[in-house]
């Protein structure tokens, strides 16, 4: 069993359950925590800010 679970929400972000460290391209750690945006519409990258609502459709399923 994994220590961290990432749930792909239909038409929404990646919901991380567990403790992770999110770092930028220069290795700096983000202090904020939250769901990770996967729609590209957030104004608070890399975190979801709800901008996906009604504007992003994607519901992947594991095969
Ligand atoms: S997934 Fe929520 S703003 Fe992108």
Nearest atom in ligand 1 to the alpha carbon of residue 36 is 1
Judge whether 20 and 5 are in contact, CB under 8 Å: no
pLDDT one-digit tens code per residue, 2-51: 899 999 999 999 999 999 999 999 999 999 999 999 999 999 999 999 99
- At residue 36, the 3 state secondary structure works out as strand
Ligand 1 in contact with 11 (CB < 6 A)? no
Best mutation site among 11, 50, 59, 60 for ligand 1 pocket (most ligand atoms within 8 Å of CB) = 50
More confident residue, 56 or 2: 56
Ligand 1 in contact with 49 (CB < 6 A)? yes
pLDDT of 55 higher than 90: yes
**What is the reported pLDDT for 2?**
87
User: What is d(CA 6, CA 34) in angstroms, rounded to the nearest whole number?
Assistant: 12
**What is the reported pLDDT for 46?**
97
pLDDT of 1 higher than 90: no
């Amino acid at each position: 069993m994994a220590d961290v679970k990432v749930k792909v929400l239909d038409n929404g972000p990646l919901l991380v359950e567990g403790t992770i460290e999110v770092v930028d391209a220069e290795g700096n750690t983000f202090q904020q925590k939250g769901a990770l945006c996967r729609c590209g519409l957030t104004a608070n990258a890399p975190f979801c800010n709800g901008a996906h609502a009604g504007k992003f459709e994607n519901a992947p399923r594991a095969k």
